[in-house]
Amino acid sequence: MTDHISEAVSWCLAVVVLVVSVLLTRQRRITAGVRRRNATLEESLRARDEEVRHLVDVRLPAVADGVNLPTPLPGLKDEKLAGTTFAQSLHAVMEQFTRAVDKAQTRADASAKSALKASMRALQGLAHEQQVSISQMQDRHDNPDVLRDLLEIDHANSQFGRRAQAIAVLCGSWPGRQRLASSLTDAVRGSKSRIRDYQRVQVHSLIDVAVVSRAVEPVVLAVAELLDNAARHSQPNTSVEVSLQPVHNGACIVIDDAGVGMDGLEVQRAATLLSGQRAVDVSRLGDPPQFGFAVVGLLAARYGFSVSVDTRSPYGGVRAVLFLPSALLTHIDAGTRGAAGAPEAQQAAPAQPLPSRPTRRRAAPPSPAPGSAPASAGVPAQAGPPAATYTPDPAPATAPPAADEAATSFGVTAGGLPKRRRRQATDTPGPRPVGQPEPDTGSHRVRSAEETAQRMGAFARGTRSGRAAHQENAPHPEDAAPHSEEGNRQA
Amino acid sequence: MSPGRRERGLVRPYVVTDGRAYPTRNTFDLVTLVLAHTDRPLSGLSPEKRRVMELCLGGALSVAEVAGYLELPVSVTKVLLGDLVDSGHITTRSPIPPAELPETQLLQEVLDGLRARL
C-alpha cells in the first residue's frame, strides 16, 4: 500500500517537476526575449535621443549658418535609422526649418538693403548737390588760395559720393546719373577723380573711343573701385598704371599696380564676386565691409562688360582688366572737331530727354529767355514809337556776314535764340590778312542813300516821339528811355 | 552747346591740374590774349592742354574765352595756361587797348547838326 502511495507520489512529483521545468524553460525563453527586445528598444530610443540631439546641435545650426553657402548639410548620425518614419519626420523638421531660415534671411536682407539704399540715395543726392555748389564756387572765385581749398573739398566730396553710390548699387539701386557719351579717357579720369590717391594714377595711351551714354557712370564707378583697390593695396610711393587698349571686339582698360598681389584663395573669391552670378549678401561683406569687387561684379553683370583680376602684373601686383564689348562703345570724335553741325545736332538730340546735369544747366538759361523776350518786347510796344526803330530789326544788316552764316548753319537753341559758334580754326587765318580787315566793326561799311535817310528819319522820329512820350506819361520815363537808347545803339 | 563739349562733372578740376591750384606765373588776366605756337609737338599733353592748343591755333583767344570753351573755372584754366607757357607751347599778350571814343560834346554837335538838317 505504501508502495502504491509512494509510487503515486513520485509520479506526481515527476509530473510536477516536468511541468515546472517546462514552464521554467519557457519562462526563461520569454524573459530572454523580452530582455532582448527591451535592450533593442532602449538602444533605439537612445539612438533617437542622440539623433534629436544631433539635429539640435549640429544639423539645424548648419542650416542656419550656411544659408547662402553651397556646402552639403550634415545627414543622419545613425545610419540604421535611415528610411524609418522617424527619419522622415526629422527630414520634414529640417526642411521646415530651412525654409523658415531662408525666409527670415531674405526678409532681413531685403529690409537691410532697402534701408541702406534709401539712406545712400539721400547721401548721394546731397553729395551731388554739394558738388554742384562746389563747381559754382570754383567758377565764382578767382583766387588760388580759395581754389586750393575748394579742390580739397571737391576731392573729399567726390570720394564720399562714390562710397554712397557703391553701397546704393550693391543694394540694387541704379548708378544714379545719366551722362553724355564720353571718351574712354575721360571715363578713366572721371574714375581717377573719385579715389583718394588720384595723383598716383597714370593714364597712358589715349585712344579715341567713347563709352555710350548709359554705360558711362557704371564704367566710371567700376574703374574707380578697381583703381581704389589698386592704390590701397600698394605702397604710397608706387604708381598705378592704367592703359587703354583697343581690341578686336571692343576695348580694354588695364590697371596694373605694384602692390602685394593676391594669393590663390583671394583670386578665387574675387573671381566669384566679379562674375556677378551670386547674389551679394550685404551683411556678409566682412568688417570693415569690402564691397569693391562685389560692386564691380554687379555692374559688370548688369551692363555687360567683364572684369578679371587673375593675372599678375609685371610690376608684381595685380593686373585688373576691364573689357568693354563693342556694344558699349561709340565714337564721338567725328562730331567734336569737325565743322559740320549735323553730328552735333544728332549728339544733342538724344541728350535732351536725359536728366543729365549739363543738359539741365544748359536748358536753364534758354528757359527764362522765352519768358523774358516777350517781356522786353512788350515794353517798347507799350512805349509806342520807339518800337518803330526797334522792330525793323537792323541786326541782320549790321551783323557781319560771318556771324550771319554761323547763325544759319548752327540752328537755334531750344529757347529760340540763334546758336553762334566761333569760326573754325582753319578758315580764320586765310582771309583776314588778305584784304578785309576786321569785318566785325561795320563802321566803314557804305550804306545806300535811302537806307541812311531811312535810318536817320527813324532816329529823328524816335527821339521826337520819345520826348513826347516822356512828357505825356511822366510816371514811366525810365521804361521808354533806356530801350530807345538801346535800340538806337543797335541800329 | 559748343562742339566737343564734355560731361562737366565727370573729370574734376583737381585731376585736370593734378592737384595744383597756383599757376606757375601770375601774369594772367581775364582778357590776356593767348597765342599758340604751331611748331610744338602735342604729344604728352593732357587732353585739356591739347584742347587749349587746338582752340588757340585759330588765332588769339582771351583767357576767359579759353576757360569758357574748356568749360573749366578760370582759375583752373590759368594753371593749365601757366604750364603751357612754361613748356613753350603758348605765349601771352596783354589785350589791345580799347579805341578812344570821340567826345560827348562832339557827338552832341553832330546830333544837333543832323536835327537841324532833317
Element (H, E) at A240: strand A240-247
Query: For A177-203, how does the pLDDT look when each residue is reduced to its tens digit (9 = 90+)?
Result: 788 888 899 999 999 999 999 999 999
Which of A189, A337, A428 lies closest to B59 in CB terms?
A: A428
Interface of B with A in 81-110 (CB under 8 A): none
Whether A456 and B21 lie within 8 Å, measured CB to CB: no
CA separation (Å) from A9 to A14, A20, A136, A347, A377?
8, 16, 131, 130, 151
Q: Is 90 exceeded by the pLDDT of residue A323?
A: yes
Whether B12 and A158 lie within 8 Å, measured CB to CB: yes
Could you tell me whether strands A318-325 and A306-312 are parallel, antiparallel, or unpaired per DSSP bridges? antiparallel
Contacts of B58 in chain A (CB under 8 A): 422-426, 428-429
Task: Summarize the confidence of residues B99-114 as an average pLDDT.
Answer: 87
The CATH number assigned to the domain with range B13-117 reads: 1.10.10.10
Q: How far apart are the first and last CA of chain A?
A: 174
DSSP code at position A263: -
Task: Summarize the confidence of residues A66-84 as an average pLDDT.
Answer: 71
Please give, rounded to a whole number of angstroms, the shortest distance from the CA of B101 to a CA of chain A.
Answer: 13
Query: For A356-376, how does the pLDDT look when each residue is reduced to its tens digit (9 = 90+)?
Result: 334 334 433 443 334 343 444
Whether A185 and B4 lie within 8 Å, measured CB to CB: no
Which residues have a Cβ under 8 Å from the Cβ of B20 and sit 6 or more positions away? B79
Task: For CA atoms A355, A358, A359, A364, give the dihedral sign.
Answer: positive
Kindly state whether B113 is in contact with chain A, defined as any CB-CB distance less than 8 angstroms: no
User: ∠A470-A472-A478 over CA atoms, to 5°?
Assistant: 30
Alpha helices in A333-414 (DSSP H): 333-337, 342-351, 357-363, 368-383, 386-390, 395-398, 401-409
A326 in Cβ contact with A249 (< 8 Å): yes
Confidence of residue A413 (pLDDT cuts 50, 70, 90): low
Task: Summarize the confidence of residues A50-70 as an average pLDDT.
Answer: 79
A181-185, A243-247, A338-342, B48-52, range with the lowest pLDDT: A338-342
Whether B58 and A424 lie within 8 Å, measured CB to CB: yes
A12-16, A273-277, B2-6, B45-49, range with the lowest pLDDT: B2-6
CA distance B31 to B23: 16
- Residue A439, pLDDT score: 46
Q: Give A407 or A33, the one with higher predicted confidence.
A: A33
CA distance A471 to A476: 10
Domain definitions of chain A by residue range: 174-333, 376-412+447-491
- Residue A447, pLDDT score: 73
Q: Report the topology of domain A174-333.
A: Heat Shock Protein 90 (3.30.565)
- Residue A344, pLDDT score: 37
Instruction: Read off the amino acid at residue A71.
Output: T
- Residue A445, pLDDT score: 60
Kindly state whether B115 is in contact with chain A, defined as any CB-CB distance less than 8 angstroms: yes
Contacts of A189 in chain B (CB under 8 A): 10-11, 15, 47
- Residue A369, pLDDT score: 38
Percent of chain A with pLDDT over 90: 34
Q: Is 70 exceeded by the pLDDT of residue A27?
A: yes
Percent of chain B with pLDDT over 90: 36
Query: For A104-122, how does the pLDDT look when each residue is reduced to its tens digit (9 = 90+)?
Result: 888 988 898 899 899 999 9
Please give, rounded to a whole number of angstroms, the shortest distance from the CA of A114 to a CA of chain B.
Answer: 28
Q: Is 70 exceeded by the pLDDT of residue A446?
A: no
DSSP code at position A281: P
Task: Summarize the confidence of residues A465-490 as an average pLDDT.
Answer: 56
Whether A428 and B58 lie within 8 Å, measured CB to CB: yes
Task: Summarize the confidence of residues B15-40 as an average pLDDT.
Answer: 88
Contacts of B17 in chain A (CB under 8 A): 151
Whether B3 and A456 lie within 8 Å, measured CB to CB: no
Query: For A138-165, how does the pLDDT look when each residue is reduced to its tens digit (9 = 90+)?
Result: 999 888 999 999 999 999 999 999 999 9
Which of B7, B15, B17 lies closest to A192 in CB terms?
A: B15
Whether B75 and A421 lie within 8 Å, measured CB to CB: no
- Residue A425, pLDDT score: 47
Q: Give A450 or A252, the one with higher predicted confidence.
A: A252
Torsion of Cα atoms, A13 then A16 then A18 then A21, to 10°? -120
Identify the residue among B5, B14, B111 best suited for mutation to test binding to A, counting A beta carbons within 10 A and taking the highest. Answer: B14
Percent of chain A with pLDDT over 70: 69
Query: For B72-97, how does the pLDDT look when each residue is reduced to its tens digit (9 = 90+)?
Result: 999 999 999 999 999 999 988 887 77
Domain definitions of chain B by residue range: 13-117
Predicted-complex ipTM score: 0.78
- Residue A416, pLDDT score: 64
Query: For A255-268, how does the pLDDT look when each residue is reduced to its tens digit (9 = 90+)?
Result: 999 988 888 888 88
Tell whether pTM > 0.80: no
Contacts of A175 in chain B (CB under 8 A): none
Cis peptide before B98 (omega within 30 of 0): no
Whether B9 and A135 lie within 8 Å, measured CB to CB: yes
Q: Is 70 exceeded by the pLDDT of residue A242?
A: yes
Q: Give B106 or A176, the one with higher predicted confidence.
A: B106
Confidence of residue A338 (pLDDT cuts 50, 70, 90): very low
pLDDT, chain A, mean: 76
* Structure-block grid coordinates of residue B26: 601770375
Could you tell me whether strands A240-247 and A201-204 are parallel, antiparallel, or unpaired per DSSP bridges? parallel
A369 in Cβ contact with A419 (< 8 Å): no
* Structure-block grid coordinates of residue A271: 573671381
